Structure 1
Amino acid sequence: MAILQSTIARPLLLGTRTMQWVSSVIAMGIYAYFVHKQHHGTHIIFNLVISVLSVVFFLPAFLSPFKSTLLSKWVALIDMIFSYLWLTAFIFSSQSYNYGNVYFNAPFGVKVSVKHAAEAFTFLAFFFTVLGLLFETMTRWVDADHDPIVREKHHGDARAPLDAPANTTGAAAV
């Protein structure tokens, strides 16, 4: 059953990683356009910085579905951090593009549909980051069930291991 779960989880994880990265790239392009149109606006700058960092930091995540290693632990940590950052970016975009006359909100003069597209891709980046974190964790658990148990071996040591029963009758018992 666990092998079946692993064979299903890995393609799902790769698909999630692809959607996560593509959403970040599209959001980065839209927010870069916003900055080009109007240089101020802390929400726009924050969202652009998060999307640029995501594009860079999500690249190693493409390797994690193929081999579960130490990299998977780092990818899960990156997903956890960026899920909160993308949630904050989504809240900022929702505040900017859902209240009042959206056309006059920063950046001024950009179509409302483009602003809503930025909000949508911000949400998608958040959603796929959380989904990637869940699939990464699930894949790590499945792989941990198949890892062999490694027992300690005592080589070259004449004495018995510390958890061995005491020898009370032999020559060493003196």
Structure 2
Amino acid sequence: MAILQSTVSRPLLLATRTMQWVSSVIAMGFYAYFVHREHHGTHPIFNLVISVLSVVFFIPAFLSPFKSTILSKWVALIDMVFSYLWLTAFIFAAQSYNYGNVYFNAPSGVKVSVKHAAEAFTFLAFFFTVVGLVTETLTRWVDAENEPVAREKHTAADTRAPLDAPANTTGTAAV
């Protein structure tokens, strides 16, 4: 687990987050262009919505490599949800831009190479979301293993019964 130490995994996590966000922004640009060209077609609209939401929800992920907090748990949850959404978006793009006469699929008239580029950046967004999820989870796991365990200190003057002990109704500590 030496590779997962914080000194290595945090820059790797930041690079993954950057690639995840950049891929989402580029995919958003492609799908916004597609929807602008032609207003019908559910696949480009779905992919545009996923990419817009990703651009917004991936912003807090840039803070997670710097400090292990509760934010990391939320970022991992967001990654898990968006990994499935990006997988669905990639499947939609593959269905739309790999079968039949791709030139006439929605949006018609757009070069096939542009449609394939949109599909590629959709896959990259999915891939880096999964890599971010795995890296975030493993980094937090290693950080939790390396945290020292805090033990409660008890003094001789502390004669209070433990909280899980039966109630003392007749002794000196009784109220």
TM-score by length of 1: 0.88
Q: Which runs of 5+ in 2 are unaligned?
A: 166-170
Q: Which residue of 2 aligns with 1:142?
A: 142
Q: Does 1:53 align with 2:53?
A: yes
Q: Deviations over 1:18-46 (max 9, x none)?
A: 00000000000000000000001100100
Q: Could you tell me how far apart the structure 1 residues matched to 2:118 and 2:2 are?
A: 39
Q: Could you tell me how far apart the structure 1 residues matched to 2:4 and 2:20 are?
A: 24
Superposed CA RMSD: 2.2
Q: Which residue of 2 aligns with 1:72?
A: 72
Q: Which runs of 5+ in 1 are unaligned?
A: 165-170
Q: Which residue of 2 aligns with 1:86?
A: 86
**Percent of aligned pairs with the same residue?**
84
Q: Which residue of 2 aligns with 1:35?
A: 35
Q: State the SS of the aligned residue for 1:107.
A: coil
Q: State the SS of the aligned residue for 1:76.
A: helix
Q: Deviations over 1:27-77 (max 9, x none)?
A: 000000000000011001000000000000000000000001000000000
Q: Which residue of 2 aligns with 1:168?
A: none
TM-score by length of 2: 0.88
Q: Could you tell me how far apart the structure 1 residues matched to 2:29 and 2:3 are?
A: 39
Tell me the CA shift for residue 158 of structure 1.
2.7
Q: Deviations over 1:125-152 (max 9, x none)?
A: 0000000000000110111012221224
Whether the 8 Å CA contact 1:2–1:142 is kept in 2: the answer is no
Q: Which residue of 2 aligns with 1:161?
A: 162
Q: Which residue of 2 aligns with 1:5?
A: 5
Q: Could you tell me how far apart the structure 2 residues matched to 1:158 and 1:131 are?
A: 52
Q: Could you tell me how far apart the structure 1 residues matched to 2:58 and 2:132 are?
A: 10
Q: State the SS of the aligned residue for 2:5.
A: helix
